[in-house]
């Protein structure tokens, strides 16, 4: 069986949850003996090229035309040749509000080519608030057809599965959660009085304004604490961030914006942090939260992150719905005794090991693929 992952890029540490998931999933499937091919539409020239990275074949096709509605001719030729072989294969589409998915799904449906679709649980009511009219129309006319024609629609959280069912006639909705591979190298454990966040600097979605508001209040009680934010940001996002620092009377010594860092540096900062902090207004999953759990970090997150109930069930940290509650939980965290802190940290690791390790989840993905080839 050959699995063709279609994504923007086979890339680690991109700062985008979907790309990180695709990277880790492709690697883990390969370790389990699955033949994975990664398909990208990123060439400016005609024709396609191939390369091999980490034992995975990467195919680079020309970029889509007509806003993504026109598939490259060489891609169609390649698919037609693939169809004439005797091997079993399955395409895996990802993401939402992405025009090329509609073009791909329509092409596959007409030719009886099997595919599954993972919307990455991106249809929550909170995520539909911005550009609401556009998203509702796009979902009704494009994404619905992608999901309706898929052999299966893959949900990554129970709440996501429920939401997906409202927007598609496809009843074959399968739940297989995301995972995070443990960091492969030992890092020194030297805790600092700091909290950290990992992700895009999207002020609204990630709740960066809410986190800065909470952190500014924490400093009144614990002025020595630092807040480190790890992730890519645009010039506009940097300007907005600077405005927020001024608004909350914070300095760049207190709040550190690292920008994009290496994978090793990201995990080093996470390892030395006292806790992980994220007050997203909406999320598809919360991959960075799982990364923090894997490093034994107590968690303070919003109740809008889908894995919040799991964090609560394992007593791995705090789940909050308001800024005042976030302030209270931050203050409580820094008053824990050494023994109490270690217990929450152990709970965090147990939460990761029993719910988000790659081994069993990858086997579930392989079963999903085999059932829908």
Q: What is the pLDDT of residues 114-159, one digit of tens each?
A: 999 999 988 888 888 878 899 999 999 999 999 999 999 999 999 9
Distance, first Cα to last Cα, the chain: 8
Domains of the chain: 2-179+357-372 (3.40.50.2000), 194-355 (3.40.50.2000)
Q: What is the pLDDT of residues 264-317, one digit of tens each?
A: 999 999 999 999 999 999 999 999 999 999 999 999 999 999 999 999 999 999
- Residues facing 3 on adjacent strands: 36, 90
Residue 53, H or E segment = strand 49-53
**Sheet of strand 317-320: strand arrangement:** 255-259, 226-230, 194-198, 275-278, 299-302, 317-320
% of the chain exceeding 70 in pLDDT: 100
- The three-state DSSP-derived secondary structure of 192-250 is CCEEEEECCCCHHHHCHHHHHHHHHHHHHHCCCCEEEEECCCCHHHHHHHHHHHHHCCC
Q: What is the pLDDT of residues 21-68, one digit of tens each?
A: 999 999 999 999 999 999 999 999 999 999 999 999 999 999 988 777
**pLDDT in the model for residue 188:** 66
**pLDDT in the model for residue 183:** 85
Strands 49-53, 56-62: pairing kind: antiparallel
**What mean pLDDT, rounded, does the chain reach?**
94
Contact 19, 40 (CB under 8 A): no
pTM: 0.90
Contact 281, 253 (CB under 8 A): no
Say if residue 331 is exposed, middle or buried (CB neighbours under 10 Å; 0-12, 13-18, 19+). Answer: middle
| Rounded Cα gap, residues 366 and 88, in angstroms | 13
- Residues facing 317 on adjacent strands: 299
Left, alpha or beta for 154 (phi > 0: left; psi -120 to 50: alpha)? beta
């Amino acid at each position: 069986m050959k699995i063709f992952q279609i994504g923007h890029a086979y890339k680690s540490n991109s700062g985008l949850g979907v790309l990180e998931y695709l990277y880790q999933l492709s690697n883990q499937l390969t370790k389990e003996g699955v033949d994975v091919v990664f398909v990208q539409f990123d060439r400016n020239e005609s024709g396609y090229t191939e390369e091999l990275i980490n034992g995975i074949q990467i195919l680079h096709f020309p970029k889509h035309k007509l806003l993504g509605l026109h598939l490259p001719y060489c891609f169609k030729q390649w698919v037609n040749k693939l169809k004439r072989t005797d091997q079993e294969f399955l395409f895996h589409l990802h993401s939402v509000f992405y025009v090329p998915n509609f073009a791909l799904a329509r092409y596959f449906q007409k030719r009886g080519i099997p595919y599954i679709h993972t919307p990455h649980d991106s249809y929550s009511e909170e995520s539909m608030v911005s550009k609401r009219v556009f998203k509702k129309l796009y979902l009704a006319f494009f994404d619905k057809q992608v999901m309706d024609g898929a052999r299966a629609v893959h949900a990554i959280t129970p709440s996501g599965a429920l939401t997906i069912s409202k927007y598609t006639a496809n009843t074959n909705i399968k739940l297989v959660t995301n995972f995070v591979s443990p960091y492969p190298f030992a890092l020194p454990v030297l805790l600092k009085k700091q909290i950290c966040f990992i992700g895009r600097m999207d002020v609204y979605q990630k709740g960066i304004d809410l986190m800065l508001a909470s952190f500014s209040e924490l400093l009144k009680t614990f002025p020595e604490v630092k807040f480190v934010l790890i992730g890519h940001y645009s010039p506009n996002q940097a300007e907005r961030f600077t405005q927020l620092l001024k608004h909350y009377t914070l300095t760049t010594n207190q709040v550190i914006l690292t920008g994009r860092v290496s994978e090793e540096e990201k995990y080093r900062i996470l390892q030395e942090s006292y806790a992980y902090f994220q007050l997203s207004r909406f999320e598809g999953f919360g991959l960075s939260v799982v990364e923090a759990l894997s490093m034994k970090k107590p968690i303070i997150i919003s109740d809008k992150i889908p894995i919040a109930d799991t964090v609560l069930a394992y007593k791995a940290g705090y789940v909050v719905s308001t800024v005042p509650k976030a302030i209270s939980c931050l203050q409580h965290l820094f008053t824990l005794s050494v023994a109490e802190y270690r217990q929450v940290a152990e709970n965090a690791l147990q939460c990761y090991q029993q719910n988000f390790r790659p081994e069993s989840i990858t086997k579930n993905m392989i079963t999903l693929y085999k059932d829908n080839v």
